Chain A
């Protein structure tokens, strides 16, 4: 191997958000403004499973607004599952855009390994 990079996922691609919602069998995201407990938020609106309020992604800034009141109004694991799904779909989209093939493999610890064949000899 040559180098290893660790990335903190940011949600910045609405197409990948739509793909993640399909992957997790969530309702399709909507776009616009919505009311959270703390106020109004605008962006890409995703309703996670069993969450009282939707989560709103500001794809321009790469951040999100949500109110889950220390998990009383929605479990963190649902958001974690969404972020994992988003990263998988975004990885596939970008790799295919570069002309690479991608395979996916679930790992025992709950992680997902994506292998991107970039081809050529070292």
Chain B
């Protein structure tokens, strides 16, 4: 059932990315949206702290990497001429994904710790 679980994970991370994109769009246009609905507030919106931002970015990079790498693996497997080359692709993607995640999640930690 491995491929079925991978497909479900792909679907789930895709949904999360969609929701996160929606939240992002709303938050950057919040003032305009509030004005559209006739809500005027003088008080500024409270922004998350630096640590919370770092957490959000790590979470986002995890789901984006998962979604992208599962999709990339599926695409590359279709072009792989043999089972052996398919296994090589899988392990290369896992290794590359771990390195990318460490690199990408380390960046927000470095940015927000200073």
Do the two shown chains form a genuine complex with each other?
Answer: no
